[in-house]
Amino acid sequence: MEDKILQKLKDILLEEEVKRRALLEREVLSLKEEISPEHINSHLEPIVDNKVNEIKNNMTALSGEALGEAIRTQIRNNRDDIIDALYPIMGSLISKYIQVELERLSENINKQIDDTFSWKAIKREFLALFGIKEKDQLMKDALAPVIEEGYVIYQNSGLLIGHYTRKDTVDQDMIAGMLTAIKSFVEDAFQQKGGNLDMIEYGTFKIIIQNSYRYYIVAVVSGVVDTNYKLNLLKYLNLFAERHLAKLKEENLSEGAVSELLGKHLLEFDPEYIF
């Protein structure tokens, strides 16, 4: 009897404490839910999105003339720093350019000295009798066109069949693909039925292109290329196509064999010969 009375008294005394503990547990659980990553993200994402949009709008407002004016202001205010940063680069570029030009000049001078006692010197003396000045002839000789590279390429695929070069070229296959892409683009852009691109100018080089049905032949020429030289070279490249490319499939020539034939053919080219 006494135990029941004591238990009832205990329940009465602890009832408020139990309610308070249950309330605290519910509040703790609620706080855990509120600080969960999912809950935080759901509240932060709209704020972050608004801030990003605000930054984008500010950047857009700074674009165009405003951004250009900002850059010009920075350049004016920091002119000395910019000059200090660019000076070594510009100096290096100028030095490199001067070095290359001096090397070219030295090579031409040495070449002219070597030719002084050759048959070319005799030819110049002979031309002088007809009023042609030696310096004019020397200038003409220095600017004479030279075939630097040669390529035989499939028309449709752009695959390289054979090549010739006076110097080492980085990647002949890449150049062949690039030439095919440029050639196709230009011909498609003008949309001329039966029309073919026959020359491309790249820096100081002229890229002469002789087209045939299945292949096209390319000669990369340095120096001054006049109309007569170009026409004669096109005829000479066509002669190579008639002699060798017409029988290419029948003879089953390898790339090395075609390259050898092309090199020999180009080295024998005489621009003064009338085809």
For residue 190, pLDDT over 80 is answered with no
CA 201-203-209 angle, to 5 degrees, is 25
- How far apart, in Å, do the first and last CA atoms of the chain sit? 137
Q: For 205-243, how does the pLDDT look when each residue is reduced to its tens digit (9 = 90+)?
A: 889 999 887 889 999 998 888 888 888 999 999 999 888
Beta strands in the chain (DSSP E): 146-154, 160-165, 199-202, 205-211, 215-222
Q: How confident is the model at residue 173 (pLDDT cuts 50, 70, 90)?
A: confident
% of the chain exceeding 70 in pLDDT? 44
| Structure-block tokens of residue 258 | 């075609």
Q: For 51-109, how does the pLDDT look when each residue is reduced to its tens digit (9 = 90+)?
A: 667 766 665 555 555 656 666 677 677 766 665 555 555 555 665 666 566 666 656 65
Q: How confident is the model at residue 37 (pLDDT cuts 50, 70, 90)?
A: low
Q: For 193-203, how does the pLDDT look when each residue is reduced to its tens digit (9 = 90+)?
A: 456 778 888 87
Mean of pLDDT over the chain: 71
148 near 205, Cβ under 8 Å? yes
Give the right CATH number for 146-267 from 3.30.565.10, 3.30.230.10, 3.90.1300.10, 3.30.450.70.
3.30.450.70
207 near 233, Cβ under 8 Å? no
272 near 176, Cβ under 8 Å? no
Listed residue (160, 175, 148, 136) closest to 269, CA to CA:
148
Question: What is the side-by-side order of every strand in the sheet holding 215-222?
Answer: 160-165, 146-154, 215-222, 205-211, 199-202
| Domain boundary assignment for the chain | 88-138, 146-267
Which contiguous run of DSSP H or E holds residue 230?
Answer: helix 227-243
- Under 8 Å CB-to-CB from 222, ≥6 apart: which residues? 145, 146, 148, 204, 205
